[in-house]
Structures are given as C-alpha cells and as structure tokens.
Amino acid sequence: MIVQLENVSLVRDGKPILREVNWTIEPGENWVLFGLNGSGKTAILNVLNAYYFPTKGQVSVLGMEFGKTYLGEKLRRQIGFVSSSLQGKLHSGDNAFEVVLSGAFATIGLYEVPTDEMRQKAIRLLEDLGCIEYANQNYETLSQGEKQRVLIARALMADPALLILDEPTNGLDFIAREKLLESISRIAKQSNPPSIIYVTHHVEEILPEFNKTLLLKEGQVIASGKTSDMLSNERLSDYFGMPVMVTWQNKRPLLTRLS
C-alpha cells in the first residue's frame, strides 16, 4: 500500500480536527483530496508526512507503520511534497536550478556538492516542466506559476514514491493554471510515475489522470471512490448543501450552481 489510514482521529489543542478517517491508496492510483477550507486537508497531509501523529487509529505510509519504526526524514525523503508554505522557507538568493538540486538531499538550500548525475537530472526536470529558460534566475523573482513548476521539479529530484501537490494552482491566472495542470498530466503519464495526491477545493482542476477522489468535510470522509462517482450531481449537491450540476468537457468536470 502507498497509504493506509484506519479509523484515524486527530485532536489538537482539545479540538477534534479529524474524525475516524479511513483511506487506502494502492500502487498506480492517483487521488484527489477534495475539501473546502477548514475541512481537515492540511491535517491529513501533516499526518502523511509524519509531522502529526494520530490521536487514535493506525497509519501506514509507503510500508512504514507509525509507532513501529522511526519515521521523520526517512519517510519524507520518499515523499515529494509541493506546498505554497515551502516557498517562504527557501533561501533568498537561490536560483531555480539550485532550488531543484536541493531536492536531491531533501534540504532547504544546498549544503552538499551535487554530483554531475544530479545536475543532469535537475536540467532534465527543468526541461520537462518547461522552466529551463529561467534556471539561472533568482527564485524569488519568478512568477507564482513558475515557482510552482520549480517546486514540482524539486520534489521529483529524489524519485519519490508519492507526490503530494497541495493546492498547487493557488494564485494562478487561467493560463498559468492550465499550463501547470498540463505539466502534472505529463508527470502522471510517464513510465513508472509516483502515485499522486492532488489537494484542491476546485472541481474544475481535476484531471482525468486522477481516477479516485476522497471527499472530506469537517474532518470526516463523506465518501471516497471512483472520481466519476464522487463528482455526480447528487453527491456534490449533498456535499455542498445546495443543488449543483456537474458537466464534463474534455474529461474534466465543471461545476454550476442550480437556482
């Protein structure tokens, strides 16, 4: 299993954040973690990365069972994690190429000398993600879309078994969003790609490569399964508490509120 959460509950500062969450991700599956703001998405990601340990329940990520083995960096080196929160932690002055190279060591900044093989891999990833033209540009000067592409390249440097994309299109305009989604689609179609968890609260971002979806609301799993089943009119109307209609164009969903 890539991920296995069994009856996971999390309490922080006396407040229940997650309630009896069950979630299994098998090899070859790409999942959408869908939830509104405050639904508990970030809490689940913190559990998967072993930043939080559950108050109750069992967690296993990439074959490592929480509580039975030392996790920390050992686990996180096998997870490519892309989040806007990472941007503020990067060293000022690093260029895009250096940021990508740091992913080989799972560090913020370069403290070791990268090998020629690492450098070639970083160049290839920058090319694959369409950002080689600004490889030598200061990361801080890049646009939001360019920064996200660089962070994805960084996450792929260590050949992760699991790639987590935490609302990667936040702050992007339509063109930048679609270009980033196109890059994510290409990653999912590569030979031997990582399993991907795509975290979002926007239905229209869900690509056809994400064959499974988990609906999270107020810390509870409302439903999970095939994406086409999860994004039905009835299911989402119940989820949002208002009548909505889902239409599909080019195998992607569009959401409309019904009067």
Where does the pLDDT of residue 251 fall: very low under 50, low under 70, confident under 90, or very high at 90 and above?
very high
Q: Would you state the pLDDT for residue 3?
A: 97
Helix (H) or strand (E) holding 58: strand 56-61
What pLDDT is recorded for position 102?
87
Q: Work out the pLDDT band at 110, boundaries 50, 70, 90.
A: low
Residue 182 CA, chain-centre distance (Å), reads 15
Return the higher-pLDDT residue of 109 and 189: 189
> Does pLDDT of 84 surpass 70?
yes
Global pTM reads 0.93
Domains of the chain: 1-78+161-176+191-259 (3.40.50.300), 86-159 (no CATH)
Rounded distance between C-alpha atoms, residue 239 and residue 250, angstroms? 24
User: Smallest Cα–Cα separation from 5: which of 27, 25, 22, 29?
Assistant: 22
3-class SS shares of the chain: helix, strand, coil, % to 5: 35, 30, 35
Q: Return the closest-CA partner of residue 217 out of 232, 236, 196, 195.
A: 236
Residue 185 has pLDDT above 90, yes or no: yes
Mean per-residue pLDDT, 79-106: 83
Q: Residue 37 burial by CB count (10 A; 0-12/13-18/19+): exposed, middle or buried?
A: exposed
